[in-house]
Every structure is written in structure tokens, then in C-alpha cells.
């Protein structure tokens, strides 16, 4: 039952937001009593913490799998983008923004774990891109990797990039083009063109 509660809660949090979803909503969706939920999770904060951890593990494992395929580094970037968009579903809500606002401690812990995972993946991607002549060999790999991570956090800030002006798909698509154009060689740019021919709409 604990796993069923966790799956249902995670789905609701992603679609409706961490703040608006109540324990009653989760109980109703599962057809169980609130008391049953509290037998497994002491309060909503504990449930949010477990749900974000579960989601983090799922996304991290997926990214690790994509990285293990050792695709063309530029294709790898777009494959990860697509995978993350499919799993976070943040067109309807802004999970990361809400987590930061209403559950700052959980957000801080997850951000720290995300940084460790992404640094390994991004640094590997950058080094392979340089080796294959797709990225400029003059770039500062550690600097670019840290900048990339922080930029991916910032573009999910709904105060800075409101959904009515910037859809998640469009803003990530635009940022990836911006990022890759800054580090690609002419050879890399030729490959990049294959991924930017169809630009997502705002909505």
C-alpha cells in the first residue's frame, strides 16, 4: 500500500502542484481513508519528501541509462531533455518552483543530489564532445558544467519565466540551443541544426 500511495501522490503532485494537493485528495484518488495514508507517512511533508526522492531516483536512473548508451553528445543532450520532460510533466504545474517555495529543506537536499548526478553526466558529455570534435577544445569544462546546472534550475523559476509566456518545452529547447551554440565547433553546429529545425510553440 505504501508504494501505491507514493505512486498516486507523485502523479498528483506533478500534475497539480505540491501545495494544492491535500491528503484528502490522495485518499480520494486511491479510494482509501486518510488514516491509511498516515499509517505510512506521518504527515504531508514526509510524503512530499518520499515522492521527490522516488522521482529523483527514477529520473536519475533514466539519465544514467541514456548516458550509458554513449550516443553522439549532442543527441544525448536532447534525449535527456525529452526524457525529463516526459517524467516531470511540468507544463501543468511547476514542481521544482513549488518545492523551493513551500518545502525549502527538501528542495535543498534534492538540488544537492541533482548537482552530483548532473556534474558527472554533463562533464562526461562535454569531454566526449571535445574528443569527437563537436565541442570547442578551448572551453572550461568545469565552468560550463556548473553554469549548465544552474541555468537548468533558473529556467524553471516561474516568477522569472511565467508559463503564460514560456512553455517548459519551448524554454528548454531554446536554452539547449543557446548552450550548444556557445560550445559547438562548425562540425557540431551541423549536427545541432538537425535538432533545432522544429521549434516548439509557446503553448
Q: What pLDDT is stored for residue 92 in this prediction?
A: 55
Q: What pLDDT is stored for residue 203 in this prediction?
A: 46
Place of cell 536554452: 175
- In whole angstroms, what is the distance from residue 156 CA to residue 165 CA? 13
CATH code given to domain 43-192: 1.10.357.10
Q: What pLDDT is stored for residue 44 in this prediction?
A: 96
pLDDT over threshold 70, residue 95: yes
Q: What pLDDT is stored for residue 15 in this prediction?
A: 86
- In whole angstroms, what is the distance from residue 113 CA to residue 189 CA? 32
Alpha-carbon 44 to chain mean position: 22
pLDDT over threshold 60, residue 91: no
> What are the extents of the domains in the chain?
43-192
Q: What pLDDT is stored for residue 146 in this prediction?
A: 96
Looking at per-residue pLDDT, the higher value among 186 and 160 belongs to 186
Residues facing 184 on adjacent strands? 135
Q: What pLDDT is stored for residue 36 in this prediction?
A: 96
Q: What would the pLDDT profile of 107-154 be if each residue is shown by its tens digit?
A: 999 989 989 888 999 999 999 999 999 999 999 999 999 999 999 888
Q: What is the DSSP string of 66-78?
A: HHHTT--HHHHHH
Q: What would the pLDDT profile of 20-73 be if each residue is shown by its tens digit?
A: 899 999 999 999 999 999 999 999 999 999 999 998 999 899 998 998 888 899
pLDDT over threshold 70, residue 90: no
pLDDT band for position 93 (50/70/90)?
A: low
Alpha-helix residue ranges (DSSP H) falling in 69-184:
73-88, 95-102, 104-131, 141-154, 168-183
Count the neighbouring beta carbons within 10 Å of the beta carbon of residue 4: 12
pLDDT over threshold 90, residue 78: yes
- In whole angstroms, what is the distance from residue 14 CA to residue 21 CA? 10
pTM of this structure: 0.84
pLDDT over threshold 50, residue 76: yes
Q: What would the pLDDT profile of 171-201 be if each residue is shown by its tens digit?
A: 899 999 999 999 999 999 999 998 887 555 5
Show the cell assigned to 122.
554533463
Show the cell assigned to 71.
550516443
Amino acid at each position: 500500500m505504501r508504494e501505491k500511495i507514493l505512486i498516486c501522490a507523485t502523479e498528483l503532485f506533478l500534475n497539480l502542484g505540491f501545495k494544492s494537493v491535500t491528503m484528502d485528495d490522495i485518499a480520494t484518488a486511491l479510494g482509501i481513508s486518510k488514516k491509511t495514508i498516515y499509517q505510512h507517512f506521518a504527515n504531508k511533508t514526509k510524503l512530499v519528501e518520499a515522492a521527490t526522492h522516488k522521482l529523483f531516483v527514477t529520473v536519475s536512473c533514466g539519465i544514467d541509462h541514456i548516458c550509458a548508451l554513449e550516443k553522439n553528445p549532442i543527441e544525448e543532450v536532447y534525449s535527456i531533455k525529452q526524457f525529463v520532460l516526459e517524467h516531470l510533466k511540468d507544463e501543468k504545474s511547476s514542481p521544482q518552483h513549488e518545492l523551493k517555495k513551500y518545502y525549502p529543506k527538501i528542495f535543498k537536499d534534492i538540488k544537492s543530489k541533482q548537482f552530483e548526478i548532473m556534474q558527472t553526466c554533463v562533464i562526461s558529455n562535454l569531454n566526449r564532445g571535445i574528443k569527437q570534435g563537436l565541442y570547442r577544445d578551448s572551453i572550461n569544462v568545469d565552468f560550463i558544467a556548473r553554469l549548465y546546472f544552474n541555468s537548468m534550475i533558473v529556467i524553471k523559476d516561474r516568477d522569472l519565466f511565467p508559463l503564460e509566456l514560456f512553455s517548459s518545452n519551448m524554454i528548454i529547447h531554446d536554452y539547449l540551443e543557446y548552450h550548444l551554440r556557445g560550445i559547438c565547433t562548425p562540425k557540431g553546429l551541423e549536427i545541432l541544426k538537425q535538432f533545432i529545425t522544429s521549434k516548439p510553440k509557446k503553448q
